[in-house]
Chains A and B, each alone.
Chain A
């Protein structure tokens, strides 16, 4: 099984801050990595696919980068509506999700 380790597990930031979440795979997964946003009580929403491609309709303040085992998800300027839990997901070998990062407003 491929393990996905996200960090931090939670973070608090101010509106306008640059926020970065990392995801590390237990083995090389090339760019087979997606990022999702889940707001409380809602279904997850696809934000980034194939490590760095922005899903249609997603604001450009969201971005992703990385390949191999190390990946980064960034919000360039945090907005109040970005409060959510963020998950990475690999799909190189079947699929697994990271444990999630809970983002709060400071």
Chain B
């Protein structure tokens, strides 16, 4: 049973970089697709992007210029970097995995989510 756990600072200052890590247990990170998805307060779900088992990435065009998702297979974890954050980036950030499809877009495993607030 795959389990995902996010970690990272809960508070980030405006214009700085948000960095989060998702540790994957119960499965190899080298086999599937891994995404970051966020949910602003009272809002719906917004996909940020994914990293594949091969290390290739695909990002939401609306965030592409500020996002980097990378994978560390030695630690079985993947990471999110979001630069130049503003209050609009305040959200609960979930990591999620696609272990079922070949697209990377079917999320059958999710982390519980971590709250990130952007404020000075």
Contacts and interface: CB of A to CB of B under 8 A. Distances in A.
Interface of A: 1, 34, 36, 38, 42-46, 49, 55, 87, 89, 91, 94-100
Given A44-B45, A87-B44, A94 B112 contact: no
B44 A97 contact: yes
Contacts of A89: 45, 105
A97 B46 contact: yes
Contacts, number: 48
A43 B45 CA distance: 11
A1 B61 CA distance: 10
Contacts of B94: 43-44
A42 B45 CA distance: 13
Interface of B: 44-47, 58, 60-61, 94, 96, 100-101, 103, 105-108, 110-113
A55 B113 CA distance: 22
B44 A100 contact: yes
Contacts of B111: 43
B9 to A, nearest CB: 20
Contacts of B60: 94
B47 A98 contact: no
B56 to A, nearest CB: 14
18 contacts: A43-B94, A43-B111, A43-B113, A44-B94, A46-B106, A46-B108, A49-B100, A87-B44, A87-B45, A91-B105, A94-B60, A94-B105, A95-B105, A96-B47, A97-B45, A97-B46, A99-B44, A100-B45
A42 B112 contact: yes
B26 to A, nearest CB: 16
Contact of B107 (A36, A42, A96): A36
B110 A44 contact: yes
Given A49-B100, A99-B44, A100-B44, A44 B58 contact: no
Nearest to A42: B112
A91 B37 CA distance: 14
